[in-house]
Structures are given as C-alpha cells and as structure tokens.
A and B are shown apart, each in its own frame.
Chain A
Amino acid sequence: MRPDLSLRVARLGRFLRREGLPVALSDEIDAGRALALLPGSDREELRLVLRSALRIRREDWERFDALLEAFLSERARRRRRVARPAGRGAALGRGRADTAPEGAGGADRPASGAPAYSPVALLVKGAPRDCSERELGEMERVLSRLARRLARRRSRRLVPTRGPGRPDPRRSLRHALASGGELVAFARRTRARDEPRLVFLCDTSGSMDAHARFLLAFAVALRRVARATEVFAFNTSLVRITPSLGRAPLAATLERVREAVPGWSGGTRIGASLSEFVAGHLQGRVGARTVVVILSDGLDRGDPRALASAMSAIRERAGKVVWLNPLLSDPRYQPTARGMAAALPYVHDFLPAHDLASLERLLPRLAA
C-alpha cells in the first residue's frame, strides 16, 4: 500500500471516530487495501468502497456521506493553501490532542449541597412509598415468583442431560464403546436453560429516594434467581453493589447496600456515572445478550452530552437497553428534562416502574 494512502485513510478514520462513528483499525486496514486495488476511483466509488470496507451501518449512511464530503473538501481546501502555522484550525488532519469536553462542566460543579430535587417528583400520585419491614417481606415473595418466571425461558439449543430428553446418538455411541459396542443406555439432550443476563444501574439520588429502595429490591430479587445479574448504584459516582447482595433477608441487604453507597440521597450526575460504567464495566459485563436496565428519573445535573455519549456506547454493545422511570406513571409527565431527553434516543423500552404491576409487565421485556 502506498504510504500516503494509508496516512490519508488513517486521518479519515480518526476524523470519523472523533465524530462518533465506530471505525476500528481493522476497518482502516481493509479500506486502505481496497483503495489500493482501485486507483482510479471517482468520488462516488470512493464512497461505496468506504461504506463497505469501514462497515458503515445503514442508519449511519447519511451522516457518513456528509462527513466524508466534509473531509474531502477540507483536504482539497488545505491542499490549495500554502503550509500554515500549526495549531490553528487543524480540525481535520493533524494534531489537537483529544480534549474531553464532556464532564468538564459537570465535574467542576460542587457535587454536595442541595440534591437535584424537582417539583415534578411531587406531582406523582402516591409516589413517596416508604417500604416498611412487612411490605418488604410481601414484596420479596411476589418478586421472587416473578423473577423465577423470567428465569424459566428455554433456548432451542440442545445440551446433554441426565433427565428426560431427546436421544443423543453421538454420545450414546461414544458411551457404548466403553461396553464393547453394546448400547446399555441412551444419552439424552434437552433444551438449554436460557439464563437472563441483566445489569441494573440504579439511581439513588435524592429525587429518586422514594423509589430507589423499591427498585433495588426488585433487582436484588431478580439476582436471587438469575445469578448472572449485576447491580450498580449511582448518584454522583458509580458503585458496584453486586458483592453486597448475599442471601440475607431483603431488608438487611438493602441496609447494607445503603451503607456501601456514599452520598445516598445526594445529587445526581447521571452522565458522569454512566461514563464511569462505560469506561470500567461495559467491556467485561455487557455483551450482545445482556439487558441493561437503568432505573432513574433522568433529572440530571451534569452535562447531557456526556449522558448521550455513554448511552450510545451502552446501546451499541448491549442486547437491549431498558429505562425505568417512576415518573412515567403520571400521565402528565413528559420526558423533557435535559438528561432524559438526551438518553431517550438510545433506549429500546421506556417504561414506568412505580408498583409491582408495572414490574410484572416489565418481565417479558427482560429477555434479550
């Protein structure tokens, strides 16, 4: 490959990444190899080749075309001009260490002080529900029944079993070799149990106080039957609380969680917290079959852009993204809060979660 070609492709790749299109190094290598094969490409063919080699998804085509156009015309413009002092206006090609505009606004702001409290929360009918000891016990029973139903889904994949199932000739014969080719017993296969993989991200800030315990109880109950469930709490920062969820009664577990989470009932920085999740846990804990459930009212004090970029990263990797918003139970509620509006485009299911009935309706959606 010609060195100037690979340099140009690398510049384009960096430009596209900066604009938020997921372009990997392997894509750039393929694009370089493809363009080297076709030296006489015109602009239209260049576009087609790059779309294919950089694996641009259908929904990104319009944006990609515009960005490519911008990149090419910027290059043409710069080529016409004589070399200019570095540092100014070098937006496309070179330099300019990636600054992190996101977070800057939110992080400087004092995190303590008055919690992000909204009059909207007061509108919700019968919202502030304090879970008493007895209520928690009742809820635990209902939730674990619901949760078990979720865990019963079966895949069509067949796995060996000792119980009833279809005959498995391959393993039967393998075993038969041990008894001199005599079929003593049939090996059997049955449909695999499809364990749901869930990641809960629960907002425990002041505006969510009334709901946080209730929703956490739900997550904890689900974890008891779906062992792969991960639970995180966040307010101004993110805490993984999965290790604190043992077999203890729900009330005691919730108490322990409350102690483990600093700044419970404090302010919220959803964007910064989710960015933390993306940086530290997305790779390891979220895959194509994982359902990510975010429990929050979306009343964010941080930068909505940070929230949007974190949500986009989660959406890209997860099988499904569900946002549970207790405020949604109020028919007058509109998701216009800055944070909620920024997150909504990346959410598959946007649902209320204020009582057991709404959680029950949620269950079928938790299967990826």
Chain B
Amino acid sequence: MSPEIRALAESLEGAGYVTDAPVATALFLATALAKPLLIEGEAGVGKTETAKALARVLSTELIRLQCYEGLDAATALYEWNYPRQLLHARIFEGRGEDPAATEAAIFGREYLLERPLLRAITREDRSPVLLVDEIDRADDGFEAFLLELLSDFQVTIPELGTIRARHLPFVVLTSNRTREIGDALRRRCLYLYLEHPDLEKEVRIIRRQVPEASAELASEIGAFMQAARRRRLSKLPGVAETIDWARALVRLGVAHLDLDTAQATLGAILKDPRDLKELARGELAAMLPGEALQ
C-alpha cells in the first residue's frame, strides 16, 4: 500500500470508520484528483457512511442531498422565501416605496433559501463534502442538471446573477443501481463498488460501532452474518442490520448467540417473511457454531 493511501486509511480508522484497501484507494484518488466519486453497491453496505467518514477525516461539513423521483431545482438548488418576500412587499408598499426598489430588495441574498447543491458551493471557509445520495432514484433530467453543476461548479440565479464556488466541494454520489446511471455522469466520476464486508472486517465494524459487545459475541454475530449472506435470501442483510442486531443483543444482555435468542431477534436482520421462513429453526441451528456441536 502506498504511504499516502495508508495514511488516509489510518485517519479513517481513527475517525471510527473501518476501512480496507479498495475504499481507502478510491477515497484517496477522489480527493487527490479532485474528482467526484460514484459509489455503487447493494443496500446497507455502507455507501453513505463512507461519505460521512470522509467528511470527518477532512474535518469539514457534510452536505447531503437525498434524491427521489421528481426532485427538482427548487428542492436541490435554491428557492425563494416566498412568505418573507410577500410580507416585505406589503411593508414596502405600505411605506409607499418605489416598486422597482421593492423588487430589488426582495430578490436579495437574504430572501434566498439555499438548498444542498447551492450550499455546497457557497461555503466561505473550506471545501465541504457533498453527498448526493441514491442518485439512481432521481430522473435522468436531474442527472443532466447535476452533470452541469459538477463540471462548472457555478449556479446562475436569474434575479441574482452567477454564483461561483469559492471552494470546490468533494463530491460523493451513491447508487443502489435501481437504474443505470447515464454514461456521461459515470465518466465524470471515479468509481467504487462496495461489497458486503468479509468476516474480519465485519467483526471489526461490530467492535467499533458496538463497543459493549464482547469479542466473542462480535465474532459469533459476524460468522452468522457471513453464513446468512450465503443463503438464498431475497434481501441480503447489510452492515446496518449487523449493527442493529449487535445493539439489540447487547441490550438484551446476551453474552452468547444461542438458538433461542437468535430466533427471537432475527427480525433485526431479516425483513421479509420468506427470508424468515428460509432461516427457520432447523436451518438456524446449523449456522450457529455452538449449537451444531450440542
């Protein structure tokens, strides 16, 4: 591992984020080349968390834009504060001011509501991390709009003029691949595909996120999760589920994963009736190391 990447990996670990070579390499390249990073992977593998960790390491602000179908410029970029504009227009009118002066006043910067994309380019002190979450949920029109912003980092507001970024944000885009991202956007970004963690990484994540869990419990949970992901489930549980489950078990005061507690708490990791059936009692026993011996 190159020293620069190792250094980044260490500071990520220091910021409470368990990492490995592929993630550290991609994050290093994204910051060093000042390119957006597109992170793809199944739900719950920690795509969003990666962006949060990057913000912590750079000790900068994280600005998040959650995408959904129908997302438009008013929600993503900026919106005028209409109630305030109306109120002030009334006041100015009452004072008998010149309409042109009124218009100039109510289209000033203080009447502008900055939405995430605009906020990301107007930070005064340092580059923030801009997280464009689940870009695959937005429609392709929005994708084209985003492409424009990512190439110029400037926004033109008809009433105000052009606003240029003082500090270019670090951009992280995530996608669950419910829809293929357009070629143009993909080409503009560096690429990272996150997979479910292996046993060693998953145990480290549990230990880091749920320090109350004993080393034994953590490795039992980790081994179970690895086995569960090899089953034919309709929804594979992700790291988020692992952590939930570990917290649940700790809260119940469980020291060891046994058949009864596993079955009682399975709802923390499996959220589909067919999956729960797939891992019925008999199947569960085979996945718990202690139980198989008894």
Contacts and interface: CB of A to CB of B under 8 A. Distances in A.
B82 A52 contact: no
A41 interface: yes
A180 B82 CA distance: 16
B193 A58 contact: yes
A44 B102 CA distance: 64
B187 interface: yes
B72 A157 contact: yes
Interface string B179-220: 110110011011111010000000000000000000000000
B82 A33 contact: no
Interface stretch (B20-28, B148-156, B240-248): B20-28
A158 B25 contact: no
B165 interface: no
A288 B190 contact: no
A173 interface: yes
B99 A55 contact: no
A24 B80 contact: no
Interface in B1-24: 1-5, 21-22
Given A38-B5, A173-B86, A288-B182, A52 B72 contact: no
B21 A45 contact: yes
A127 to B, nearest CB: 36
B139 interface: yes
A319 B139 CA distance: 12
A289 interface: yes
Given A169-B82, A170-B82, A37 B4 contact: yes
A99 B5 CA distance: 42
Nearest to A169: B82
B102 A45 contact: no
Given A157-B139, A173-B86, A52 B70 contact: no
A55 B21 contact: no
A24 B4 contact: no
B114 interface: no
Contacts of A57: 191, 193
Interface of A: 24, 26-27, 30, 33-34, 37-38, 40-42, 44-45, 48-49, 51-58, 61, 155-158, 169-170, 173, 177, 180-181, 191, 287-289, 317, 319
30 contacts: A30-B190, A34-B33, A37-B32, A41-B2, A45-B1, A45-B5, A45-B21, A51-B22, A52-B22, A52-B190, A52-B192, A53-B29, A53-B190, A54-B191, A55-B186, A55-B191, A156-B68, A157-B70, A170-B74, A170-B79, A170-B80, A170-B82, A181-B89, A181-B102, A191-B70, A287-B140, A288-B140, A288-B179, A288-B180, A319-B179
Given A34-B32, A45-B25, 8 more contacts: A30-B190, A45-B21, A51-B22, A51-B191, A55-B191, A173-B86, A181-B89, A287-B140
